[in-house]
Amino acid sequence: MPRSIMHVDMDAFFAAIEIRDNPTLRGLPVIIGSDPNLPRGVVSTCSYEARAFGVHSAMPMAQAKKLCPEAIYLRGNMSKYTAVSNELMSIFDEFSPLVEQISIDEAFLDMTGCEHFYSDLKTMGMTIKTRIKNNLHLTASVGIATNKFLAKLASDKDKPDGLTIVNEPISFLDSIPLKKMWGVGKQTYDKLLKLGIKDIPTLRATPIEFLIKVLGKQGYLLHQLSQGLDNQVVEPAEKNKSIGAEETFPIDIDGEAVRKELLILTDKVARRLRKQGFSCRTITLKVRLPDFTTFEKSRTLLEPTSDTDLLYQTVLSLIEFFKGPYRLLGIYLGNFSNALTKSLFADQDNKDKLWQTIDALKEKGLDIKKATILDKESR
Ligand SMILES: [Mg+2]
């Protein structure tokens, strides 16, 4: 059965929110990011007016300043953006039971079977765009296709405020630059160019055996995608499958701020873990770098734990693998046991009780510092 996958992506999300909330910024180049006077600052988001000057996300602030010195530079307000994102996600939930959020401002919606609520796919796309515009006073770009790969490319095709429906996958793909294909990063792109593969039609015409020989499994996948084939399903984040928390920063962070953010995230996931009466063995750290590349690294402990200290020490050992600054940090716990920590250490039972006391105090609104003092005193 052919599927109907919709990808919805907000236009210049952070900048658009700032302009919405301060209309005097409308029509001006607006750049959200680090302090422009900091040497290593980067652009987080910018308005389309700023993009006309060549400014884009992840660009060093110094370069943006050179390209567009007259722009309005703002530091960004992550808690506001997160609140708008939550409203956006609840709109998505009204349209489909299968929603996969892939970042703060975009998601895949599996609309298969829901199409008959609309006279055609265009009406379906316009309905969600209008709903977002009326409720959030922001514009979104929408792509509709038979799979995730094509839907994601389609939402990007006619930004901002776009709506693209892919009826003819092959001719649609032929209009897309090779660089925009999934799995074609800088390294793969250079490799393909050396092989004389400079666009998607050439990739499609290249024998699959040859691609597998030079690129392995990736060669097979790229050949599939070049034909518009992609079987990946829309996967809503399953509750309780893993316990996790992540934070995207309006400005990339580095140094001491990283340790602090990791402690906040560890504390958050550890409390949720204990609240559910679980211990875990696997700790996964997710990092996104300023160039948007995302990595995950996991460590599995010999024994299950629910101890914040131990979880935090593990997280710190994992962050060593990556060089900052970071755009996003996330911590995911998995491999659960049903009981609270059963450790070889004799004092573990007391420690469990201590953490439960701290959690209870925090829930009553006592601040973290006091709880930390209590922690130290109890030892
Ligand atoms: Mg976006």
pLDDT in tens, 18-29: 999 999 999 999
User: How far apart are the C-alpha atoms of 131 and 135, rounded to whole Å?
Assistant: 6
Residues of the chain with CATH 1.10.150.20: 172-226
pLDDT score for 41: 74
Q: What is the mean pLDDT of residues 95-114?
A: 90
User: How far apart are the C-alpha atoms of 353 and 266, rounded to whole Å?
Assistant: 18
Residues of the chain with CATH 3.30.70.270: 1-167
Q: In what order do the strands lie in the sheet with 30-33?
A: 43-46, 30-33, 72-74
Distance, CA 9 to ligand 1 centroid (Å)? Answer: 5
Angle at 133 between CA 86 and CA 99, to 5 degrees: 40
Least confident residue range of 79-88, 113-122, 365-374: 365-374
Distance, CA 102 to ligand 1 centroid (Å)? Answer: 10
* Confidence check: pLDDT of 44 > 60: yes
| Percent of the chain predicted with pLDDT > 70 | 89
CATH superfamily to which 1-167 belongs: Reverse transcriptase/Diguanylate cyclase domain (3.30.70.270)
Distance, CA 333 to ligand 1 centroid (Å)? Answer: 28
Given pLDDT bands bounded at 50, 70 and 90, which one contains residue 70? very high
Distance, CA 337 to ligand 1 centroid (Å)? Answer: 38
Residues of the chain with CATH 3.30.1490.100: 243-378
Distance, CA 155 to ligand 1 centroid (Å)? Answer: 10
Distance, CA 187 to ligand 1 centroid (Å)? Answer: 25
Which of these, 288, 237, 247, 244, lies nearest to 79 by C-alpha position? 247
* Confidence check: pLDDT of 336 > 90: no
pLDDT score for 341: 41
* Confidence check: pLDDT of 379 > 50: no
User: How far apart are the C-alpha atoms of 354 and 372, rounded to whole Å?
Assistant: 11
What residues have CB less than 8 Å from 236, skipping those under 6 apart? 98, 99, 100
User: How far apart are the C-alpha atoms of 195 and 223, rounded to whole Å?
Assistant: 14
User: How far apart are the C-alpha atoms of 201 and 209, rounded to whole Å?
Assistant: 17
pLDDT score for 340: 45
| Percent of the chain predicted with pLDDT > 90 | 59
Given pLDDT bands bounded at 50, 70 and 90, which one contains residue 282? confident
The correct answer on CATH 1.10.150.20 for the domain covering 172-226 is yes
Least confident residue range of 113-117, 276-280, 371-375: 371-375
* Confidence check: pLDDT of 260 > 90: yes
| Spacing of C-alpha 232 from chain mean position | 17
Mean pLDDT of the chain: 87
Q: What is the pTM of this model?
A: 0.66
pLDDT score for 350: 62
Given pLDDT bands bounded at 50, 70 and 90, which one contains residue 321? confident
Given pLDDT bands bounded at 50, 70 and 90, which one contains residue 353? low
Tens digit of pLDDT for each residue in 228-250? 999 888 877 654 456 899 999 98
- Cβ(199)–Cβ(177) below 8 Å: yes
* Confidence check: pLDDT of 40 > 80: no
CATH code of the domain occupying 243-378: 3.30.1490.100
Radius of gyration of the chain (CA): 23
User: How far apart are the C-alpha atoms of 356 and 352, rounded to whole Å?
Assistant: 6
Least confident residue range of 62-66, 74-78, 234-238, 259-263: 234-238
* Confidence check: pLDDT of 294 > 90: no
Place of tokens 């914040």: 308
pLDDT score for 256: 92
pLDDT score for 349: 56
pLDDT score for 174: 97
Q: What is the mean pLDDT of residues 316-335?
A: 89
* Confidence check: pLDDT of 367 > 80: no
Given pLDDT bands bounded at 50, 70 and 90, which one contains residue 366? low
pLDDT score for 241: 56
Q: What's the token pair of residue 122?
A: 């265009």
Distance, CA 103 to ligand 1 centroid (Å)? Answer: 8
* Confidence check: pLDDT of 114 > 80: yes
Given the DSSP bridges, would you call strands 43-46 and 72-74 parallel, antiparallel or unpaired? unpaired
For 37, counting Cβ atoms within 10 Å of its Cβ (0-12 exposed, 13-18 middle, 19+ buried), the class is exposed
Distance, CA 59 to ligand 1 centroid (Å)? Answer: 16
Q: Which residues pair with 330 in a beta bridge?
A: 246, 286
Least confident residue range of 160-169, 190-199, 235-244: 235-244
Point out the residues that are catalytic.
106
pLDDT score for 130: 98
Which of these, 287, 288, 290, 310, lies nearest to 300 by C-alpha position? 310
